[in-house]
Structure 1
Amino acid sequence: MPRTVPAVPAVPAVPAVPALHSAVIELRQYTLRPGRRDELIELFDRELVETQEETGMTVLGQFRDLDDPDRFVWLRGFPDMASRREALSAFYGGPVWAAHGPRANATMVDSDDVLLLRPSPDRSGFAGPPAGRRAQAGAAAPDRFVAAALWHFHPGTHDGTRLIRDGLVPLLRRTGPAPLAVLVTEPAANTFPRLPVRTGENVVVVLTSYPDEDAHRRHLADALARPVVRNEILPGIERAQAAAPVFLRLAPTARSLIR
């Protein structure tokens, strides 16, 4: 029998906003050679943002992982899987990657930790920032903190996803800033096998932005103070999990749209 999702106080509906035309999103986590993250970020922000977007994709966000000085995290989006294949083929087969790809690859130990995602069924994708990408390459990074929570569930199951989407996320919206996006696994086959993605996954990713990490801690404390979270929502999520959740503490780079 399906488990009933705990009742949560009603919240105002969030208007549907086009997710930067990104129905398909890659969350990419790169392990870099020691001490070379700033080198990759400088190259990426200068040479690999607009040049990727010219092929039809959107570079959504670039981040320093605050828990690992040799980890670079970024996201990019595509209108659909067919355009993903076309855009990636154009970029990685084109002159910009031929010129700058070898230097970028030289900073990396591993670039295959990639989740293929899509907005959750309630269309909780990224909303386009009204001012667009403001900073130029070399500008100071924004003083912001982005939290990414990755929950892993057994393939083919839905209880955990429903608890996050219908229980946890509405309460987070009531107690602090609304998540920037709620993403779930895109089950379609990889249309660009040259770049591997993780398969056999059932993941929910919630990204939220804060002025600083203290604001994030206060938001979590407020949410955890609610009995429905402590006694129903989180225990239900834990029972549905296939693995422990992963929590990323991220600092946006100067040219990140997500900030």
Structure 2
Amino acid sequence: MFYEIRTEHARPGRGAELAGYMDETVIPLHQELGMHVVGAFTVIGDEDAFVWIRRFEDAADRERVLKAVHGDPRCAGVAETVSDLTAGTESTIRLEPAPAPHSADPPTRRPADPPTRRTPHLTHAVPRTRTEEDTP
């Protein structure tokens, strides 16, 4: 299992519009097509940045989900709107769970905690309203 922290950068002054579109359109489409979106955030001190965290079981799961999203007939219109709202400077960081501490055995990956409604502890982000728990 791994996570991706993806940051989208809106054109100057369009951060609120981008955040609304991500919350109302982009993330629900991705969730509908099988993506696990752990959370979405705006960044304190950078009103034009939008951060969302995606979880995948493995590389094959990521490929399957992204293929489903990009193959959906709605994707082209959604991508065009995102392109109009963004400055084209997105970034993605991939994270894996850390090995279990204090283990004499070879490192293994810990399973992720189940999603909760607790606010994540991030020093420079404000949680958005939609999480994977909000998806039926």
TM-score under structure 2 normalisation?
0.78
Separation in 2 of the partners of 1:126 and 1:96? Answer: 32
Cα deviations by residue, 1:126-169 (Å, 9 ceiling, x for unpaired): 4222x7xxxxxxxxxx9x5731xxxxxxxxxxxxxxxxxxxxxx
Separation in 2 of the partners of 1:63 and 1:31? Answer: 12
1:249 is aligned to 2:124: yes
**Shift of the alpha carbon at 1:118?**
1.6
Aligned to 2:55: 77
1:125 is aligned to 2:103: no
**Shift of the alpha carbon at 1:124?**
6.2
Q: Compared with structure 1, are the counterparts of its residues 145 and 120 closer, same or farther at alpha carbon in structure 2 (3 Å cutoff)? A: closer
Aligned partners of 2:37 and 2:55 also within 8 Å: yes
Aligned partners of 1:30 and 1:111 also within 8 Å: yes
Separation in 2 of the partners of 1:80 and 1:87? Answer: 11
Q: Matched residue of 2:124: which SS?
A: strand
Aligned to 2:18: 40
CA RMSD of aligned residues (A): 2.3
Aligned to 1:55: 33
Aligned to 1:88: 66
1:146 is aligned to 2:21: no
Aligned partners of 1:25 and 1:77 also within 8 Å: yes
- Identity %, equivalent residues: 29
Write the letter of the residue equivalent to 1:249.
H
Match of 1:110 among 69, 85, 88: 88
Aligned partners of 1:56 and 1:78 also within 8 Å: no
Matched residue pairs, number?
Answer: 124
Cα deviations by residue, 1:26-66 (Å, 9 ceiling, x for unpaired): 11122221111111121111112232123222111111100
Cα deviations by residue, 1:192-217 (Å, 9 ceiling, x for unpaired): xxxxxxxxxxxxxxxxxxxxxxxxxx
Aligned to 2:105: none
Q: Compared with structure 1, are the counterparts of its residues 90 and 124 closer, same or farther at alpha carbon in structure 2 (3 Å cutoff)? A: closer
Q: Compared with structure 1, are the counterparts of its residues 40 and 91 closer, same or farther at alpha carbon in structure 2 (3 Å cutoff)? A: same
Separation in 2 of the partners of 1:111 and 1:87? Answer: 22
Q: Matched residue of 1:63: which SS?
A: strand
Write the letter of the residue equivalent to 2:20.
E
Aligned to 2:103: none
Aligned partners of 2:8 and 2:49 also within 8 Å: yes
Which has the larger Rg?
1
Separation in 1 of the partners of 2:120 and 2:63? Answer: 32
Q: Matched residue of 1:27: which SS?
A: strand
Q: Compared with structure 1, are the counterparts of its residues 254 and 85 closer, same or farther at alpha carbon in structure 2 (3 Å cutoff)? A: same
Q: Matched residue of 1:120: which SS?
A: coil
Q: Compared with structure 1, are the counterparts of its residues 145 and 117 closer, same or farther at alpha carbon in structure 2 (3 Å cutoff)? A: closer
Cα deviations by residue, 1:208-255 (Å, 9 ceiling, x for unpaired): xxxxxxxxxxxxxxxxxxxxxxxxxxxxxxxxxxxxxxxx51101111
TM-score under structure 1 normalisation?
0.43
